[in-house]
Structure 1
Amino acid sequence: DKMKFAVEPISLSEAMEKLRQKKVAKLPILNEGDELVAMVSRADMKKGRTNPLAAQDANKQVLVAAAVVPRKTERERVNMLIEAGADVIVLNASQGDSE
């Protein structure tokens, strides 16, 4: 049986249509190097219908936020969060407890 997947670039609506056509629960999205770059699932479709007010970006992906404390030791973590694509980084200073 052939593996079912899609290749980027592909819009979310195109991926959802392929998911329906291929009658699968999950559809891997690969880049030109055959690396996995995304996964679309029927569960995602259901969540989109049941949570229409979820905070999403232009690609309909849920926004990701992280909280960090304002300390020098957190700099590496902040850089890793930025590299990973976090949408929001919140500085969490508890009652002036910062360096």
Structure 2
Amino acid sequence: MASELGVTTGAIVLGSGVDAAAAAAISYGADTVYVCDDPSLKSFRLNPYTEVIKKVIGEVKPTIVLFPASGRGPRPERCSGLRSEHRRCGRRARSGAA
């Protein structure tokens, strides 16, 4: 889909101690991985995870956002709207990516 649209791919990795998960996202093809590594994100909680995703989406302004269809976790309708201003987030680019 990204190549058809002429855009790069990105992934958001949330949690505590997520270096291996971030590396895996890059190995699966993400051009950029937005890493939100914070001890308070160790256990899944819907509201904090949703707020972090909203913050990343608000800052990055991606063309398309895909969510898992598992029924558990943040949903698109919860991630629209106001920006969040907490949690430490950074980004990692695959070597050679712009």
The TM-score bracket by the shorter chain reads 0.3 to 0.5
Determine which structure has greater relative contact order: mean sequence separation of CA pairs < 8 Å that are 6+ residues apart, divided by chain length. 2
TM-score normalised to the size of structure 1?
0.32
Larger radius of gyration: 1
TM-score normalised to the size of structure 2?
0.32
